Amino acid sequence: MNVERLNERVSAARREALARGDTFYPGPSRVHLAAFPPKERWDDWVELDSRSWPERRERRFMLVPTTCFNCESACGLLAYVDRETLQVRKLEGNPEHPGSRGRNCAKGPATLNQITDPDRILYPLRRAGARGEGRWERVSWDEALDDIAGRIRRALDEGRPNEIMYHVGRPGEDGYTERVLAAWGVDGHNSHTNICSSGGRAGYAFWMGLDRPSPDHANADVILLISAHLESGHYFNPHAQRVIEAKQRGAKLIVLDTRLSNTATHADHWLSPIPGSEPAILLAIADELIRRGAYDRDFVRHWWNWQEYLACEHPEGPQTFEEFERLLRELYSAYTFEFAERESGISAEVLREVVELVASAGSRLSTHTWRSAAAGNLGGWQVSRALFLLNALLGAVAVEGGVYPNAWNKFVPRPLYVPPHPQAWNELTWPTEYPLAMNEMSFLLPHFLKEGRGRLEVYFTRVYNPVWTNPDGFSWIEALTDEDLVGLHVALTPTWSETAFFADYVLPMGHGSERHDLHSYEQYDGQWIAFRQPVLRTARSRLGETLGDTRDANPGEVWEENELWIELSWRIDPDGSLGIRRYFESAEHPGEKLTVDEYYGHIFSHSVPGLPTAAAAEGLTPLEYMRRYGAFEVARGVGPVHAQPVPADELVDAHVDELGRVYTRAEKPASANVVPLPTPDPDEEGRRLVGVAVDDDVIRGFPTPSGRLEFYSRTLAAWGWPEHAVPGYIRSHVHPATTGEDQMILISTFRLPVQIHTRSANAKWLDEIAHTNPLWLHPRDAERLGVRTGELVRVETEIGHFVVKAWVTEGIRPGVVACSHHMGRWKTGETGQRQSMATVDLDRSPERWSLRRRTDVRPFDSADPDTRRIWWTDVGVHQNLTFPVHPDPVSGMHCWHQAVRVTAAQPGDAYGDISVDTERAHEIYRRWLELARPAEQHAPDGTRRPYWLLRPLKPSRDAYRLPGVPGGVEGEG
């Protein structure tokens, strides 16, 4: 059935429901569906037991909200807790959650599989043999924590703070752990972001000072997506439902995706470009809008930093807007449709149709790119920069149907304690070669360790699996098995992973219904917070039980990080002499440990506008309210924050500079919302930037150094990249014009809609739906190679090869192959996830690593009878092992796409074979490192990084200074 017919039927059903007098759910979901139990009855909800059919047996449930932990969207879930057995029977959507509005993707309800998985880790484990040998012994939490805390304390006492590192995969929370690390005084935060979204972030950050867009899809007339947002994009379910709403209204959808993804199948225009050529297409559209004058002149004049561009790049010419417009026409005149056609393979004729659509949107153009092209290509950060150029031209910024800066649609409350910025700078994560990197250079860590740039005393991996997820996994294994490089590896994980196999401690963490976290994400023009909670703990407390910590209610000895960090911090600093313990003490009962109830109770009572009133109206405390409903909408219709006037009391001794920036001596007002906004430099007299002068008003502007949208990035120009200071096009490292004639482009970045990196390995429903990752191959290429669907092919990268099955499909461009990165899980012995991990032999000869499949997945006995019903054997191929690192010299993003040679399998090749040369991998790392422009040579002010750029954990300003480099004066940046 096509989308239009489906939409008609849905609308008709709604009309009928209304005619019958049915009502819409009154909560934030604002959608019709009697399927949501009314919240007044959540304490005692009755359903018929489906398994007892045809007998009508009633089951009584307490519905307890939490949020999904299976991707970054944090959709609301309702756990159905059986009042008789006190077990979670199912998880469905929470209609009180303003972002997800009662809906989930398949991965939300599959949380049930994760918590009941027979292979899950239930107790703390310590390795019993050599690291990676696979032998484990159970250990008490006390033993594990004392050991870990002792080592951390020793490192701190001995002045080795940079040997403590916390490396996070899925954060799923807003800042709790960063504050833990700040309290310890370490610059020890490491993230996965540079293998995920740094490319996308950089393009946005250089434009608007904030590194994410918040597209208002629901109100757009034209939606332009670069990637597969409808099935697996960023904030997938909340965005997807709003895209579909817009389509129901008649909005048009343009999708740039080299694969015919499920998203592309919903598009009015599907463009399948040569990977990496997306900016060429976007700039050709921009050129046409500029040439025709079909852009919002007022918006550009008011909000772009065109004066700064003229002052820096054309100081001799007239400093007028008309002159800027003339130069703008010149700047993009080379990006013709014909040029874009040559670069992208998309015909000029199609591009002309697309530009008409974009031009027709006016300010109702919502656009989004995240991983995808921005994550695949050298210079991928120019994809988001070129995409946002279209919004900035049409004035489709912070208006209905346009794109908002993320921080305006996000609410992060002020917590009980805010420890100071650490006095340290960790060059293992923020090396000086990459001063503009959006996030930690995490994927280079094994190479940095091998080069002797440092060592780690205590290394936490937390819901992170770099051996499997990152490129160059064998280099990770080499680093993790070297105890001189990594003294103690602690894996905090709910699920077995290829990385946990190389840990010293494996500590069991909770899934989405077993832990506390707080979050808020930009999903529409509003602000909400949502509360993840251990649902059985809440249910049992509501029934009058007194419980200790979260372990009391979780299976086995599964814990959560919030309480773990409090406990560990007390053990690091038992007498408070290090100044750490005070950030983990109760404010209500000095000298006692902080509890999660006090921590969140304080936030909800003091830092969330409107929540105390809403709670009081129901006779609840704010904490009780959040435990009962799980989410709260702080604001709706936030609108254009940049256009808000700056209040007079903030304009103390205000000074307006030649670019219209307004500086003040007034203190920054204390705000409940602590979204980490960039901090532009003060003026020469120490005043802080407070806004911009537009006509006769002083208004907020954007959190950039200029206070305006930075079409021209003085930061890029000053820090060594003047040629990329305006939105442009950098030809990808895999563009056919630069690779060998016998090479193809491998797209390795796409997600499967029902899989979640590491954690879905224990979700049986998801594994049954999707468990393999064949290589997409166009029929023309298949014919050339003499390969048919299901036959084996060998894919050769720069450092090795993998052997995979072919899937011949017209859904991919000729010359390009694609393989999802979500599959290919493995274990070397019995320990691991048996329903999704093949058992392999891992070998290392002097020259090469190899991995060969010993046994496939097969049925097994367990407490869950479904494990005997496993019918699949194939779990895909771990292609990421064969990729060398490709750090983008500007954004720091790993450029995932590979130039590969694809051939029919060779004699002796077996499905799933991997072969890799890690010496060669190190050489390629060195080659890409040479592209970097280090701060020592290029920083204009003797610092390691522009202070205004975001960092998840920001050190003190002093720590920014480069040692031994003259300068150190805070300048432009």
Q: Which of 62, 63, 64, 71 binds ligand SF4 (CB under 6 A)?
A: 71
Q: Which of 98, 108, 380, 466 binds ligand SF4 (CB under 6 A)?
A: 108
* Closest C-alpha to 121, from 876, 891, 772, 762: 762
Q: How far is the CB of 326 from ligand SF4 (least distance, A)?
A: 46
Q: Binding residues for ligand SF4, how many (CB under 6 A)?
A: 13
Q: How far is the CB of 517 from ligand SF4 (least distance, A)?
A: 12
DSSP character for 711?
S
User: Which of the stretches 71-79, 147-155, 187-195, 762-770 binds ligand SF4 when contact is defined by CB under 6 A?
Assistant: 71-79
Q: Burial-class residue 937 by CB neighbours within 10 Å (0-12, 13-18, 19+).
A: exposed
Smaller CB separation from ligand SF4, 526 or 728: 526
Smaller CB separation from ligand SF4, 73 or 828: 73
Using CA atoms, how far apart are residues 336 and 281, in angstroms rounded to an integer?
A: 9
Instruction: Kindly provide the residue ranges of all beta strands, DSSP E only, lying in 644-743, ordered along the sequence.
Output: 655-656, 661-664, 688-694, 697-699
Using CA atoms, how far apart are residues 971 and 26, in angstroms rounded to an integer?
A: 53
Q: Does 70 bind ligand SF4 (CB under 6 A)?
A: yes
Q: Does 746 bind ligand SF4 (CB under 6 A)?
A: no
User: Which of the stretches 67-75, 445-453, 633-641, 702-710 binds ligand SF4 when contact is defined by CB under 6 A?
Assistant: 67-75
Tell me how crowded residue 387 is: count the other CB atoms within 10 A of its CB. Answer: 32
Smaller CB separation from ligand SF4, 106 or 651: 106
Helix (H) or strand (E) holding 65: strand 58-67
Q: How far is the CB of 73 from ligand SF4 (least distance, A)?
A: 4
Using CA atoms, how far apart are residues 324 and 407, in angstroms rounded to an integer?
A: 30
Q: How far is the CB of 569 from ligand SF4 (least distance, A)?
A: 29
User: Which of the stretches 37-45, 100-108, 681-689, 859-867 binds ligand SF4 when contact is defined by CB under 6 A?
Assistant: 100-108
Smaller CB separation from ligand SF4, 127 or 371: 371
Q: Which of 63, 74, 290, 823 binds ligand SF4 (CB under 6 A)?
A: 74
Asked whether 973 and 943 are in contact (CB, 8 A), the reply is yes
Q: How far is the CB of 239 from ligand SF4 (least distance, A)?
A: 9
Q: How far is the CB of 100 from ligand SF4 (least distance, A)?
A: 6
Q: How far is the CB of 51 from ligand SF4 (least distance, A)?
A: 25
Q: How far is the CB of 235 from ligand SF4 (least distance, A)?
A: 8
User: Which of the stretches 68-76, 223-231, 370-378, 922-930 binds ligand SF4 when contact is defined by CB under 6 A?
Assistant: 68-76
Q: How far is the CB of 536 from ligand SF4 (least distance, A)?
A: 20
Q: How far is the CB of 630 from ligand SF4 (least distance, A)?
A: 13
Smaller CB separation from ligand SF4, 631 or 734: 631
**CA 911 → CA 269, 751, 905, distances in Å?**
37, 21, 9
Q: Does 463 bind ligand SF4 (CB under 6 A)?
A: no
Residue 414: partners with Cβ closer than 8 Å, 6 or more residues away:
603, 606, 607, 670, 671, 672, 673, 674
What would you report as the CA-atom Rg of the chain, rounded to the nearest whole angstrom?
A: 27
The two structure tokens encoding residue 351: 């591009």
Using CA atoms, how far apart are residues 351 and 335, in angstroms rounded to an integer?
A: 12
Residues shown for the chain: 973
User: Which of the stretches 63-71, 353-361, 499-507, 810-818 binds ligand SF4 when contact is defined by CB under 6 A?
Assistant: 63-71
Q: How far is the CB of 867 from ligand SF4 (least distance, A)?
A: 23
Q: How far is the CB of 106 from ligand SF4 (least distance, A)?
A: 7
The two beta strands, 697-699 and 792-796, are unpaired
Q: Does 73 bind ligand SF4 (CB under 6 A)?
A: yes
Smaller CB separation from ligand SF4, 229 or 540: 229
Residue 887: partners with Cβ closer than 8 Å, 6 or more residues away:
194, 434, 441, 443, 444, 893, 894, 895, 925, 928, 929, 932
Q: Which of 104, 307, 523, 664 binds ligand SF4 (CB under 6 A)?
A: 104
User: Which of the stretches 105-113, 582-590, 864-872, 921-929 binds ligand SF4 when contact is defined by CB under 6 A?
Assistant: 105-113
Asked whether 779 and 810 are in contact (CB, 8 A), the reply is yes
Q: How far is the CB of 405 from ligand SF4 (least distance, A)?
A: 22
Q: Does 68 bind ligand SF4 (CB under 6 A)?
A: yes
Q: Does 107 bind ligand SF4 (CB under 6 A)?
A: yes
Would you give the binding string for ligand SF4 spanning residues 21-60, x where CB under 6 A is met? Answer: ----------------------------------------
Q: What is the DSSP code string of 754-779?
A: T--TTGGGG-HHHHHH----PEEE-H
Q: Does 105 bind ligand SF4 (CB under 6 A)?
A: yes
User: Which of the stretches 20-28, 72-80, 168-176, 787-795 binds ligand SF4 when contact is defined by CB under 6 A?
Assistant: 72-80
User: Which of the stretches 102-110, 204-212, 822-830, 933-941 binds ligand SF4 when contact is defined by CB under 6 A?
Assistant: 102-110
Smaller CB separation from ligand SF4, 99 or 124: 99
User: Which of the stretches 18-26, 97-105, 328-336, 830-838 binds ligand SF4 when contact is defined by CB under 6 A?
Assistant: 97-105
Asked whether 276 and 377 are in contact (CB, 8 A), the reply is yes
Smaller CB separation from ligand SF4, 235 or 460: 235
Residue 596: partners with Cβ closer than 8 Å, 6 or more residues away:
516, 550, 562, 563
Residue 693: partners with Cβ closer than 8 Å, 6 or more residues away:
656, 660, 661, 662
Q: Does 237 bind ligand SF4 (CB under 6 A)?
A: yes
Using CA atoms, how far apart are residues 267 and 265, in angstroms rounded to an integer?
A: 6
Q: How far is the CB of 68 from ligand SF4 (least distance, A)?
A: 3
Torsion on CA atoms 958, 962, 966, 967, rounded to nearest 10: -50
* Closest C-alpha to 207, from 704, 755, 852: 704
The two structure tokens encoding residue 671: 């705000």
Smaller CB separation from ligand SF4, 344 or 495: 495
Q: How far is the CB of 93 from ligand SF4 (least distance, A)?
A: 8
- 912 phi-psi bin (left φ>0, alpha ψ -120 to 50, beta other): left
Q: Which of 62, 75, 568, 692 binds ligand SF4 (CB under 6 A)?
A: 75
The two structure tokens encoding residue 161: 């703070």
User: Which of the stretches 101-109, 260-268, 685-693, 946-954 binds ligand SF4 when contact is defined by CB under 6 A?
Assistant: 101-109
- Collapsed DSSP state (helix, strand, coil) of residue 851: strand
Using CA atoms, how far apart are residues 470 and 882, in angstroms rounded to an integer?
A: 10
Q: How far is the CB of 266 from ligand SF4 (least distance, A)?
A: 17
Q: Does 818 bind ligand SF4 (CB under 6 A)?
A: no
Using CA atoms, how far apart are residues 206 and 202, in angstroms rounded to an integer?
A: 6
Provide the CA 129 distance to its chain's centre, in angstroms.
35
Using CA atoms, how far apart are residues 703 and 717, in angstroms rounded to an integer?
A: 18
Q: Does 241 bind ligand SF4 (CB under 6 A)?
A: no
Smaller CB separation from ligand SF4, 515 or 708: 515
User: Which of the stretches 48-56, 103-111, 399-407, 874-882 binds ligand SF4 when contact is defined by CB under 6 A?
Assistant: 103-111
Q: What is the DSSP code string of 606-639?
A: HSSTTHHHHHHHTT--HHHHHHHH-EEEEEE---
Using CA atoms, how far apart are residues 341 and 290, in angstroms rounded to an integer?
A: 19
Q: Is the dihedral of CA 574, 579, 581, 586 positive or negative?
A: positive
Q: Which residues pair with 898 in a beta bridge?
A: 746
Q: Does 236 bind ligand SF4 (CB under 6 A)?
A: yes
The two structure tokens encoding residue 689: 């930037």
Smaller CB separation from ligand SF4, 266 or 302: 266
Q: Does 263 bind ligand SF4 (CB under 6 A)?
A: no
Which residues in this chain contact ligand SF4 in the complex, by CB under 6 A? Answer: 68, 70-71, 73-75, 100, 104-105, 107-108, 236-237
